[in-house]
Amino acid sequence: MSPDRFRWVVSTVLLGGLAVSTALLLAGLVASWLVGWQGLVLGMPATALARIGLIVLIATPVLRVLVSVIGFILERDRLYALITAAVLGIVLASLLLVR
């Protein structure tokens, strides 16, 4: 994978995550206005759409680090793949161990 292609993939992941998160947050906000905070949309509370949007927003940088690990492996750059994998491990551990 060329460095330009690698940067394009990483930026696409970040922009895509931001776009999906924004759409879900706005959909949750609009749905809450239309049916009320306790109303149901698609069989779930209207605020659930906003919560899913927040989860996507939080998951986006984690996905970016995962994509970077894969990219460095494909480039056969062992040092950066190892460092990035360590960062991914730290981020995932912090997400899973926090109560």
Q: Which residues pair with 71 in a beta bridge?
A: none
Neighbours of 76 (CB within 10 A): 8
Cα angle 50, 55, 61; round to 5: 135
pLDDT at res. 40: 79
User: What gap in Å lies between CA 38 and CA 83, rounded to an integer?
Assistant: 45
In terms of residue numbers, what domain contains 22? Answer: 3-97
Residue 23 pLDDT level (bands cut at 50, 70, 90):
very high
Flag whether pLDDT at 37 surpasses 80.
no
Flag whether pLDDT at 27 surpasses 80.
yes
pTM over 0.85: no
Task: Give the chain's domain count.
Answer: 1
